[in-house]
Amino acid sequence: MRAKAAMTAGLAAFSLSLGLAACDRGADGAPVAEAPAEAWVGKDVVLYLPDPVMKARVEVSALSPYVNAATAAAEGAVRAAPVQPGASGMLLLMVKPGGRAKAWVVTGDPAPGAETVAAVVKAVEAVPAPAVREGPILVGVGFEAWGGGAPPAGASPPIPRDWYAHFSKDGGRLDDAFMASVWPD
């Protein structure tokens, strides 16, 4: 009786595994390829400075279209790049008075290829910056590329690894002096 029950259970498991394997096959019996991961999925937008400082320095009506255009430029550069291992991270946008803007890409490991990161930065920096006054602003756009990967290590929200060298040994603040040290005039 035990042998018959074991055999029935074994056949049921075998039938189930065949049924599941059939789910991975098309009508003609050929394996179905998995859908490719999205090249770019935008996530959250992060203001790196306090809200009152941001509101004093830039009009929301100018900032929002800029962030959207910069994000679209980054997405276009990623979509044009060869598929790579998944990456998750933050696109940082710093804008200074005088229409000057600079971009950084911060990801976890593995990072996208250097050529891809350079293409993203170049595309984003070609987007006209909004007018800012009284000092710089810093905004981040979270993203996942090619299905996402490990998040950036360190601070949350993330900053480029080389920025840590600009903090004092006792820490520091992300303020105008700090931003001037990571992107001097």
Rounded-to-integer distance, Cα 113 and Cα 153, Å: 18
Q: Which residues pair with 25 in a beta bridge?
A: 31
* Residue 3, pLDDT score: 42
Largest CA distance in the chain: 86
Q: State yes or no: pLDDT of 21 exceeds 50.
A: no
* Residue 36, pLDDT score: 61
Mean of all residue pLDDT scores within the chain = 85
157, containing H or E segment: none
CB atoms within 10 A of CB 129: 23
CB atoms within 10 A of CB 65: 13
What is the CB-side half-sphere exposure of residue 80 using CA atoms within 13 A?
A: 13
CB atoms within 10 A of CB 141: 22
* Residue 83, pLDDT score: 95
Task: Average the pLDDT over each of 65-69, 103-107, 173-177 and give the range with the smallest value.
Answer: 173-177
Identity (one letter) of the amino acid at 112?
P
- Which of the four pLDDT bands, split at 50, 70 and 90, describes residue 29? low
Which tens digits make up the pLDDT trace of 80-97?
A: 999 999 999 999 999 999
Q: Using DSSP, state whether 171 is helix, strand or coil.
A: strand
* Residue 155, pLDDT score: 84
Mean pLDDT of 47-76: 97
- Confirm if 107 and 78 have CB atoms less than 8 A apart: no
Identity (one letter) of the amino acid at 117?
V
The structure tokens 């276009």 sit at 76
Q: State yes or no: pLDDT of 106 exceeds 80.
A: yes
